[in-house]
Chain A
Amino acid sequence: MNNFAIDPHLYGLPDIEELKAFRIWDTHYHGFLTGTEPIKQHQEMLFYVKRMGLERIISVDIGGTLSDPLDPKPHDAAQLDILNNDPDWISGIIPIDPGFPDESLAKMKKWIAKGPCVGIKYVGGNKLGVTCDADQNDKIIRYAAELGAVIYIHTWIKVGGEPRWPGGGNLDGESTPMDVATLAKRFPDVPLICGHAGGDWELAARAIRPYENVLFEFSGADPHSGSVDYAVDIVGVDRIVWGGHGPSRSFSTEMAKVLDASLSQKERMKVFGENYRKIAKPIFASKGINITV
């Protein structure tokens, strides 16, 4: 059954076996993201990962930190051990910095080509203020495509500026879904994940709609009833992927977005993991990990 304090079925919710049956992949796991002790926090997070029945977690914080993604950090070795020891359910992608493409390529070679990681992440802002649509990204995208690496791009449309406009509050180098669309035009055969649904999913879904190589990921923002329904209408259920964003967001918040949507079991399974597995299967296979999509 489960060890929840409430009976999920009494309240119209899936129990633990039903959660497991969704085959949930947390493609935006922030368990290592902390300014203090990343390994300790990760170990603490695993309690909730297991409690909510997740099948796999994919850390987006492997190697360095979000603010210094290209600088080796003391916890890198422990992260590497974790990825090597638990490849059946823990994976990682590495933050890169498009302001430093050559250094980013070197990190990709170390952690993806010669290491256990399966993709790259564009983080929310960078030192030189380079967004994902800039030309200097092309060599990064080409190498990622060569490796079959997953490409995740943090995006947000923060209101700000004077006068205020959507995107006017973004950090330097923080990409928008419109930037992803520009990049997608140049690489129509390379899957790109537009992260956080742009923070403003109504505008973001329209921005990436024409580019079928762009997937849409909802983590890291408040749960809005109807948001996944809307995205399914605009881009289709085959282009939506799921992330947990814990510990700063609860799995509850992120799961609720999908459970709120008027989707079939099969469609929910696509969002919770199948769509991501489709694009990630080749790189997992290259590392000797055969996943069932």
Chain B
Amino acid sequence: MKKVNRRSFFSTTLKATAAASLPLSFSTNLPEDTRSKPNLFAGKPGVIDTNVNLFDWPFRKLKYGETDALLAKLSKHRVEKAWAGSFEALFHKDINGVNERLAKECKQKGKGMLLPFGTVNLAWPDWEEDLRRCDEVYKMPGVRIYPIYQTFDPSHPDFEKLVAQVEKRKMILQIVGDMDDSRNHHPIVLTRGADMNSLIDIIKKYPKVKIQMLYWTHKITGNLLERFIKETNVVFDTSRIEGSGAVGRLIEGNPWNGKKGIPLAAERVLFGSHAPYFPVEASFLKLMESPLTAEQANGILQGNANNFMNSSL
């Protein structure tokens, strides 16, 4: 796979933009109700939130944990579409049940806003059938995996197969680095590590695979982040980009700590709130705290996710 620089990324995504016809009209194999939904904020920039989860967080009742409450909260902040995973994916063994409930919830309660991102667990048998159903039965645009809870990481023997199949199916693969701060986990929970180094070599074999990292900043830092930036097309959510003005400084290649001089193209940053676990306000405020251009901010809020969804890298 060739190196990706800012210019070539622009070129790829701009082509995708032309095909995408902003605002929001997803061209992937989405359920009918999400495909045909009119733009709720015509003429004004709506938001695509690429990182929300539905159902119960296993350890706490969340303020906006009910789907209706979450949708109302997201709407208040002009979120027009939200890519929704399921908290059930962390511990459940009946993965098809998890995905079926997620698809049903998005369809019945999603008001056209929620796009279901089911899951597969490579540690459980028959994951390929789960992936097939996500694509063919539930018409999901992608799958979200939670390696530190699901007890596998890119070194798993089936991981490359997952990447290959996701690429073949033209789906999105979202990889969650963390869900919360491990320092205040419930003491009976000991999550696994997840080494993302081997992911790069796998990605290089599948240049058209679309991968997004969510809450990624503990798992991808320093030299590894540099490799992701230079050697892959992976995109990143905003939920745990942390530090004063950190979104802008990441784009500039000027982080407070860590390696400087490695800018991340703004087009590779996608709005992701990690709601309802995190306050949705946090990711919006980050776009105020950093001195971004309007073009950069609007891309992060919507255009980049739209391009990513519709592009064939």
Is A263 engaged at the interface, CB distance under 8 Å to the other chain?
Answer: no
Contacts of B186 in A (CB 8 A): 159
Contacts of B244 in A (CB 8 A): 45, 48, 246-247, 249-251
Whether A253 pairs with B184 at a CB distance below 8 angstroms is no
Is B222 engaged at the interface, CB distance under 8 Å to the other chain?
Answer: no
Given contacts A249-B243, A250-B243, contact A10 B289 (CB under 8 A): no
Is B44 engaged at the interface, CB distance under 8 Å to the other chain?
Answer: yes
Is B292 engaged at the interface, CB distance under 8 Å to the other chain?
Answer: yes
How many chain B residues touch A (Cβ–Cβ < 8 Å)? 51
- 236-293 of chain A: CB within 8 A of chain B: 246-253, 255-257, 259-260
Whether A225 pairs with B63 at a CB distance below 8 angstroms is yes
Q: Mark A29-71, 1 if CB is under 8 A from B, else 0.
A: 0000000000001000101100110000000000000000000
Taking the nearest CB of chain A, how far is it from the CB of B62, in angstroms? 6
Whether B187 pairs with A165 at a CB distance below 8 angstroms is yes
Query: Complex formed: what's the CA distance from A157 to B186 in Å?
Result: 11
Contacts of B78 in A (CB 8 A): 10-12
Taking the nearest CB of chain A, how far is it from the CB of B90, in angstroms? 17
Contacts of B280 in A (CB 8 A): 225, 260
Q: Per a CB cutoff under 8 Å, which of B277, B281, B296 touches A259?
A: B281
Q: Per a CB cutoff under 8 Å, which of B64, B76, B256, B288 touches A5?
A: B288
Contacts of A52 in B (CB 8 A): 288-289
Closest A residue to B240 by CB, please name it: A222
How many chain A residues touch B (Cβ–Cβ < 8 Å)? 49
Is B185 engaged at the interface, CB distance under 8 Å to the other chain?
Answer: yes
Is A97 engaged at the interface, CB distance under 8 Å to the other chain?
Answer: no
Query: Complex formed: what's the CA distance from A286 to B160 in Å?
Result: 67
Interface SS of B by simple majority: loop
Query: Complex formed: what's the CA distance from A279 to B243 in Å?
Result: 28
Whether B282 pairs with A253 at a CB distance below 8 angstroms is yes
CB<8 Å pairs between A and B, sample of 25: A5-B288, A5-B293, A5-B296, A5-B298, A6-B284, A6-B287, A10-B45, A41-B256, A48-B244, A48-B245, A157-B184, A159-B182, A159-B187, A164-B190, A165-B187, A169-B183, A199-B183, A200-B184, A202-B60, A222-B180, A225-B278, A248-B242, A251-B289, A259-B285, A260-B281
Given contacts A165-B187, A250-B243, A252-B288, contact A224 B278 (CB under 8 A): yes
Is B301 engaged at the interface, CB distance under 8 Å to the other chain?
Answer: yes
Interface contact tally, CB-CB below 8 A: 151
Whether A13 pairs with B288 at a CB distance below 8 angstroms is yes
Is B297 engaged at the interface, CB distance under 8 Å to the other chain?
Answer: yes
Contacts of B76 in A (CB 8 A): 12
Is A210 engaged at the interface, CB distance under 8 Å to the other chain?
Answer: no
Whether A251 pairs with B187 at a CB distance below 8 angstroms is no
Is A99 engaged at the interface, CB distance under 8 Å to the other chain?
Answer: no
Contacts of A247 in B (CB 8 A): 243-244, 256
Give 10 new A-B contacts, CB below 8 A, not counting A225-B64, A226-B63: A2-B288, A6-B287, A8-B288, A13-B288, A45-B244, A52-B288, A159-B187, A224-B277, A256-B278, A260-B280
Is A74 engaged at the interface, CB distance under 8 Å to the other chain?
Answer: no
Whether B292 pairs with A5 at a CB distance below 8 angstroms is yes
- 248-291 of chain B: CB within 8 A of chain A: 256-257, 275-289, 291
Is B188 engaged at the interface, CB distance under 8 Å to the other chain?
Answer: yes
Whether A250 pairs with B246 at a CB distance below 8 angstroms is yes
